[in-house]
Amino acid sequence: MTEPGVLMLILFFSAVLYVVFKRRIARSSLSLPPGPKKLPLIGNLFDLPTTSPWEAYHEWSKMFNTDIIHLSVAGTSIIVLDTYDAATELLEKRSSIYSGRVQLPMLNDLMGWNFDFAFMDYGDVWRDHRRLMNDFFNPSASKQFRAQELKAARRLLVRLLNNTDDITWNLRQMAGEIIISVAYGLQTKPKDDPYIRIAEQGVHPILEVSVPGAYLVDTIPLLKYVPSWLPGAGFKRQAQKWKELAQKMVNVPYETMKSNMEKGIANPCFVLSCLQKITEGEDPIYNEYNIKCVAGTLFQGIVAGSDTTVSLMSWSIITFLELPEIMVKVQQEIDSVVQLGHLPDFNDENSMPYLTAVIKEILRWKVVGPLGLPHQLQAEDEYRGYRIPVGSLVVANVWHMLQDETVYPEPSKFIPERFMGKGSDVEAAEHQLNVFWGFGRRICPGRHLAFSSVWIALVSILSVFDIVKAKDENGNVIEPVIECPPSLLLSPLPFKCEFRPCSKEAEAMIRSVIDDL
């Protein structure tokens, strides 16, 4: 290169470095978003609300006249986005830097949960797993699993006819059947299914590990290198036991499915389709490691992911108990579409806009995940003149976005018609409802399967049952007590009600289903 060329190159890089440096200086001088006053060291530790934090966050947003607030808890920066516009701007449009996940050494490294892309940080491996998942669970591809969903819904009818003492268990059994059959093509037992038991044993430790401050290694990551035989390293020995349970959860159903494939008795499922693609050899993401990990992510959903489906089903039943007139309108729609003496199926979906609108309104009215799952910012950023520190946990106030009266007039009322017909209002309501499933590159990849599972279950139930309040031994109505334990998901505790066959013909239809299962 000539001397003038070298000089030009030096000047170019000098200019770039100057601009970058100047921007960093300017950004570092920006103030943080508004929020409650912080105490030294502990920040807003004592300000964090213990009940309904989404409501408190919204009140702070109104108090400070902002759609973004900042909290600090013992040095951890927390950003809360209170509006759809703020969440869309950052979590959607800037998703390349807002798609991180907090990495817990105890969970990801020591317990071996780095296979699960739900807990995986954003990067190349995550992208491969996500793409593999999307290949099979996008709106079009997910329809291939409707036979499994329909069969699980029909089995649910039989269980509700014979036993309504534990509604939540019945719903969870249905969700578990769908996931196991979709992921591995395996059938479940009516009671004490070994695969569901394996999933429960594998996932249960997450509840303990996810409690902030439960393990010092999450605060001091270097502790993960401490030998397990040292005094005080009991966490490593415990992690090893939990790791074995997680590996069993990932390996057992996968190896069973492979064995069925070799015997020629494998049922259509995610793993079978993926393994067949390996032989085609056209796409490197189809390898056994990726397939096993993504299937394991699906499988742990029997306990974790199915909570969304179970919660939606539970809130739907509660809605019909609280608003029986809505149930009657849905049943009238079903009767007008489904041929007498037949049970509904997915072919009837397009002819039942009211039921679909009811489910969407339940999503909005009873927000299962009011704060979603936190993202982690991977680079320093700026929004509306505020500095957002790298490493911040970014939380979206989904509850307020689905209660926003500018999009959903009279948000406290149950109005399914918000999602019916055409026009800008309906389009805005539909568009904003997507926040229920998350944002950007972290949006729930199984949302289409989850929605269709809820739809087929509800249309099946309401075609043959009236959902009514339970009565005691004296014939007095038992008003359902609806309680939700503190959690990331607002899922009601078990409650009582009755599933009463609409007629003798309906009961006979349910019993006839047994022969087809």
Q: Which residues of 273-308 are buried (b: 16+ CB within 10 A; e: fewer)?
A: bbbebeeeeeeeebeeebbbbbbbbbbbbbbbbbbb
Hey, how many other C-beta atoms are within 10 angstroms of the C-beta on 241? Answer: 10
Assigned token pair, 425 = 């209002």
User: Does 444 carry a binding-site annotation?
Assistant: yes
Q: Which residues of 374-392 are buried (b: 16+ CB within 10 A; e: fewer)?
A: bbbbbebbebeebbbeeeb
Q: How far apart (Å, rounded) are the C-alpha atoms in residues 360 and 128?
A: 31
What's the longest Cα–Cα distance across the chain? 100
Helix (H) / strand (E) element for 407: namely none
76-81 and 68-73 as β-strands: parallel, antiparallel, unpaired?
A: antiparallel
Q: Which of 139, 197, 152 has the alpha carbon at shortest distance from 451?
A: 139
Residues 298, 300, 301, 306, Cα dihedral to 10°: 150
Q: How far is residue 105 CA from its own chain's centroid?
A: 22
Q: How far apart (Å, rounded) are the C-alpha atoms in residues 430 and 396?
A: 18
User: Which amino acid is located at 19 in the chain?
Assistant: V
Q: How far apart (Å, rounded) are the C-alpha atoms in residues 246 and 115?
A: 10
CA angle (132 as vertex; 126, 134 as ends), nearest 5? 100
Residues of each annotated binding site for heme: 444
Residues of each annotated binding site: 444
